[in-house]
């Protein structure tokens, strides 16, 4: 399948409905617990964060963080390196990490530990997609959009080799090894 036209896994309408549900749940859970800081993990979360954050009905601020995975040859080692930290002070604030996808779990596991060192009031996690069968570390996700199988997905922020991030739906590609 060409990456120009990935097959649809999750439609635009289904994403919209689920993001609405997540936003309602998060708004209810954090009511009276402000300030809430949404921390988007670059680059993949940028579209999900933009949509989710605009549908919350509680006060919130936005931060971004960037990480990079160490590779051994062409294989991911599981080690994660901080490329860009949050800009604002998150001490004593409620933090919600917003990820596009949790795959092996190494990135989110690292981020939870790293952000706790900033001494926030709380740290919770939200991922649009979760590939549970790929988990290599045990990491708790408080808000999950969709559980998906072990397939490479693109669109709505997610890429394969930087392609297809702006596709409006989640599609499947079959990268050649």
Does 44 bind ligand PRP (CB under 6 A)? Our answer is: yes
Q: Does 155 bind ligand PRP (CB under 6 A)?
A: no
Give the residue, chosen from 12, 27, 35, 43, that forms a contact with ligand PRP under the rule CB under 6 A.
43
Neighbours of 21 (CB within 10 A): 13
Question: Is 53 among the residues that bind ligand PRP (CB under 6 A)?
Answer: no
Inter-CA distances, 65 with 36, 62, 98, 107, 112, Å: 16, 10, 10, 11, 12
| Residues 90 and 64: beta-carbon distance below 8 Å | no
The first and second tokens of residue 159, run together, are 């890429």
By a kind-dependent CB cut-off of 5 to 8 A, residue 153 interacts, out of ligand 7HP, ligand PRP, none, with ligand 7HP
- Name the residue among 72, 80, 87 with its Cα closest to residue 109: 80
Catalytic residue, from 4, 103, 142, 159: name it.
103
- Spatial strand order of the sheet with 36-42 comes to 75-84, 60-72, 36-42, 94-102, 122-130, 143-147
Which two three-digit tokens encode residue 117?
A: 């060192």
Instruction: Determine the Cα–Cα distance for residues 108 and 56; give it in Å rounded to an integer.
Output: 22
For residue 175 the two structure tokens come to 């990268």
Identify which of residues 63 and 103 has a Cβ nearer to ligand 7HP in the complex.
103
CA distance 34 to 106: 28
From the CB of 104, what's the least distance to ligand 7HP, in Å?
A: 8
- Active site includes 4? no
What are the residues binding ligand 7HP (CB under 6 A)? Answer: 101, 103, 152-153, 158-159
Q: Which is nearer to ligand PRP, 61 or 104 (CB)?
A: 104
Contact flag: residue 40 with ligand PRP (CB under 6 A) = no
The verdict on 41 binding ligand PRP (CB under 6 A) reads yes
- x/- letters, 71..110, toward ligand PRP (CB under 6 A): ----------------------------xxxxxxxxx---
Residues classed as catalytic = 103
Binding site for ligand PRP (CB under 6 A): 41-44, 69, 99-107, 159
């Amino acid at each position: 399948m060409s990456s120009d036209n990935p097959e649809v896994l999750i439609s635009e309408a289904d994403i919209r409905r689920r993001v609405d549900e997540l936003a309602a749940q998060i708004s209810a859970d954090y009511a009276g617990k402000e300030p809430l800081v949404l921390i988007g993990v670059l680059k993949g979360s940028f579209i999900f964060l933009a949509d989710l954050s605009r549908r919350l009905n509680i006060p919130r601020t936005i931060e971004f963080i960037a990480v990079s995975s160490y590779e051994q040859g062409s294989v991911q080692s599981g080690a994660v390196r901080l490329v860009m930290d949050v800009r604002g002070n998150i001490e004593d604030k409620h933090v919600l990490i917003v990820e596009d996808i949790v795959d092996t779990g190494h990135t989110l596991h690292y981020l939870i530990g790293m952000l706790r060192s900033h001494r926030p009031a709380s740290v919770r996690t939200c991922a649009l997609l979760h590939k549970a069968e790929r988990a290599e570390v045990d990491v708790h996700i408080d808000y999950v959009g969709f559980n998906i199988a072990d397939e490479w997905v693109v669109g709505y922020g997610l890429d394969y080799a930087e392609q297809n991030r702006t596709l409006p739906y989640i599609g499947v590609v079959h990268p050649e090894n």
